[in-house]
Chains A and B, each alone.
Chain A
């Protein structure tokens, strides 16, 4: 049976987020199956729920979640813990797979080996951000958002809805969607800057 169940807690502290990252690193380094099983247990049900909200059919969602996890195995050597937390990286894999399957095209991205890529050479840019700590901060900042703002952020990431469609679904004016989103982003950004 594959019904929707209530939120399972995600990583509550950087140590847990780091464990997720270390599993991906282990898969890349030694094709560690045990580490992959852990990743699978944590992320596959989340990716399935993500796909379900776009596809509306649990068979489809199951297949896409499996496909996404295959990509996690295949692309593990491209994971760079200094550039992204595990949850961030797996989110981008799920997002790109969704666009590939539902819209039959590739998500257009920056190519890190592009010779025209401009690198920030200011001293601040070299400061290493701990991506796992950052991911945990983002998550708790998001959990602390007022419910009406949180739902707008969630719908932005979890459904292929424009702002006016979100307005329709929540039965609120378009301007309200925009202002809630703006407030949420200001709050999220403020929360992050306060700490780093």
Chain B
């Protein structure tokens, strides 16, 4: 997979330090599944977290803390009898065989975990129409801070011109789009701050499916979508 656009270092560091909204985390983890480079960067930021742990102040534990923990472990082991043991396994998928065409073959697990059980591919998603040529699907069980939704955009259609109150990220899962920043293909992430206004257009004959996560509701610049906002829950 030839990914050209990645989350910023700052975004990856926020992911590693664990201070993002769940909506943003979902998008970053989905991208990381497809992007070994960003996985490695996050591993580096986690090493930085480890270094912060090593260099920061310490707080002494209660005198019997270790005994207490050992006692809890004893109890647990007695209950279990058998120690569950599984080596971490990595199923190697060669890049060539896992990607066909311009779409993600099946849904990466961080995202799949939040979709209904019967959804096995992006095609099975129970889309809801939002505007001509634009469908969306709001993901459930995400903490209230931030929003995350999938959008499906017909060829040649543009997402209404919008700016952002907060941080917005878009991960392309199928097709491609073009906006003021550049061309985005499957696997690419547009990581935008709050001062960017943009109007993405699905620019090939193929429909475009993307995951959009925000830290705050999106604000649309045109009248009609703005009026719709309270009703459709964008």
Contact B69–A69 (Cβ < 8 Å): yes
Beta-carbon nearest neighbor of B143 in chain A:
A105
Beta-carbon nearest neighbor of B17 in chain A:
A157
0 or 1 for each of A70-88: is its CB under 8 Å from B? (1 = yes): 1001100110100111111
Contact B43–A83 (Cβ < 8 Å): yes
Contact A2–B13 (Cβ < 8 Å): no
Interface residues on A, range: 35 or more
Contact A62–B65 (Cβ < 8 Å): yes
For residue B73, CB closer than 8 A to chain A, the reply is: yes
Interface residues on B, range: 35 or more
0 or 1 for each of A40-79: is its CB under 8 Å from B? (1 = yes): 1101111111101000001001100110011001100110
Chain B residues within an 8 Å CB radius of A58: 59
Contact B48–A118 (Cβ < 8 Å): no
0 or 1 for each of A85-110: is its CB under 8 Å from B? (1 = yes): 11111111011101100010101111
For residue A169, CB closer than 8 A to chain B, the reply is: no
Contact A112–B92 (Cβ < 8 Å): no
0 or 1 for each of B153-169: is its CB under 8 Å from A? (1 = yes): 00000000000000000
For residue B98, CB closer than 8 A to chain A, the reply is: yes
Beta-carbon nearest neighbor of A192 in chain B:
B44
B90 vs chain A, min Cβ distance (A): 5
B67 vs chain A, min Cβ distance (A): 10
Contact B13–A185 (Cβ < 8 Å): yes
Contact B46–A116 (Cβ < 8 Å): no
For residue B34, CB closer than 8 A to chain A, the reply is: yes
Q: How far is the CA of A61 from the CA of B88 in the complex (A)?
A: 30
Chain B residues within an 8 Å CB radius of A37: 66
Known: A11-B54, A73-B73, A84-B50. 4 other contacts (CB 8 A): A70-B73, A110-B109, A156-B17, A156-B19
Cβ contacts A to B, 29 pairs, < 8 Å: A4-B58, A5-B57, A5-B58, A7-B57, A41-B66, A46-B54, A61-B59, A62-B62, A70-B72, A70-B73, A84-B46, A87-B47, A90-B53, A105-B143, A115-B98, A115-B106, A116-B34, A116-B106, A118-B34, A119-B36, A119-B93, A135-B47, A138-B47, A154-B56, A157-B17, A157-B52, A158-B56, A188-B48, A192-B44
